[in-house]
Amino acid sequence: MGAIDIIGGILLILTSVFLVIIISMQESKSDGMSAMTGATDSYLGKNGGRTLDAMLKRVTKIATIIFMVLAVAVNLVAVFL
């Protein structure tokens, strides 16, 4: 196990912990009782791109892409080195 493998493993662990934290911070998608009562769009619903939840979704997508690329790179390095 070389230094590159160790660094890659550490980066994978850090990225996965970051993903768990970010996903845990996101709001649930279940409508619950508000779907039954016919609740209308709120201010946050109309400005969804500017809310904390929208930012968390964006960060989650970016972190997931980084995680997948990093996982493939670490496996390729392990095979070829």
9 domain-assigned = yes
**Domain range for 21:** 1-26+50-81
User: pTM of the entire structure?
Assistant: 0.72
Tally of domains within the chain? 1
Residue 72: predicted pLDDT: 95
57-71 residue pLDDT tens: 999 999 999 999 999
Helix, strand or coil, per DSSP, at residue 31: coil
Residue at 68 is within a domain: yes
CA distance 36 to 12: 42
Segment 20-60, tens digit of pLDDT: 999 999 888 776 555 555 555 565 556 666 788 889 999 99
